[in-house]
Structure 1
């Protein structure tokens, strides 16, 4: 993007007193930012009022410095991009939103934003051990099926979801609430670098933007907007994850929720979503079938040991009690193959049979 065009976009976005709504009105009325600033203040006033028009007459403080910083950031790495509403690479799904971000900063593979299968995974920053395991295993299974997992790089479920997708060798997208020259939380610095190498990190906030509390609920609309559906793994009743789910529903996207213990506060948000019409899911296969996402590869009747040495059937079981039918749906194995493998795992002490025909993976597995 030429410097003059970049400067016009930053001037529009960084001018104090001109919010995103006013900027959007100006773009609708006059076209691209360079064209906006070719008009006189009287024309601006008729669109956004006197106060905002007056603010636009002055250049934002340090505008040239901000343009220099952004150009230097872009020049450092060919996998860094700035996408505006008029860019051909701007995700079309976001254009369908009521309030699409005017500018997106991207670190990584920009084509990940156009992946044909994208699913948001969100949940608690303080999940139960089972919730964190569920997030990682669902993301791993979805990644193996050719799905790009979209999440928010937060602690807990978000981090586990990104990790599961990366371990499956799949792209994953992190939508963050800071400038892309910062990583928050800091303990996810290594994870962020891996996401940038295998997928993409996305923000609507300028470089240097700190982790302000108001930014995280705002970025949730992008997580929902980029995805064909949203899976809530664990969430309290009052949580940002439910905001993401509501935004997804408002945008006409599917919402899925994993049920949990009636005694766990972290399950109550998912249960509330299910009561409101979210789809209860027990396996990644439930989501793939509902969204008509065809897996990238079939198990072909055989379950192998994963590269890290973990049995794929044990991974499919998770740690919650599971029925034979549900396990068969997750794995695609016929009854004879599945029963034979389960008997082997029982004899090894990795699986136990429970009353009611349920099976459960034991902790030593």
Structure 2
């Protein structure tokens, strides 16, 4: 029997924020995978090593977690006044699909450096020293991201002393702005609160009636109170991820939230839409010990937030969910704002399993609805490896 030889594809393995993924230039993908469809999905599944019933990704580049099973495709922008288009694919670990329904806020921080290093940003825009502003079109959701990337001696500066909880080593700081982050998934101007309410009631079989703030900002997110599901908001990963009943409960809440938000038309559709919406639980500040052993004092944070991604509690916080947290915290009346003390605010520092994160949002009430002009946070990014990935030539 003849077996197809492996092919090699130019790629870069990068960390962005508290995530990492495989980055491609669109032009470097095999021709069949340069368009959306099964060929592209099958190729990316094989690159990551999915589906893997062992949940290890031993035969691929994935890390068998929602934070490390990610792919990015970057190309010259099709939009006016933008440098690059950025497409994000969340690869399922144990099922054969790639979810294109949302963005990855953490990897957004790596798109600018990748674009600069790979000749996708005009040379006259790149300073020899200073900061390069990269305007990114987030193609999944049709929104603009501005990444401000430090430059030194004509190259992206990656090393530095900026520390990010959830990342072991310090690096150079990259500020990331998400402009007008509230939208529907086609990128049209969507309602920040799809139901029209700051707080809704969800009736979830096996769980009961829950209050929920459901918001479209950064990424569709369903917020509930921690005490409503018998948690206190200081939980680490093991407390949730080792409890199958807890994971099933949160998935039920997520699915019913997706239905209420209009993201799906039937509950069964939630199974093939794992990336969005996210589900998170919030609580007033308490002191706790982060996963690194770092003591987080109640006085250093405004609110506690724990969020699930791809069916598991996240080890830190998804960047897009941080946008949702910052936006909801800025709007009086939401569950996040209530947990943070109920005051109007432009910045919020929240506690997550790995530590803390500060995020800002500029929200306003206009034309009888809440709007947010931008959300901003600091992240970092670093190239881990660059060269080629190899996959069997018949895998796509």
Higher strand share: 2
- TM-score, normalised to structure 2, is 0.24
The structure number with the bigger radius of gyration is 1
Higher helix share: 1
Indicate the structure whose relative CO is greater, using CA pairs within 8 Å and at least 6 residues apart: 2
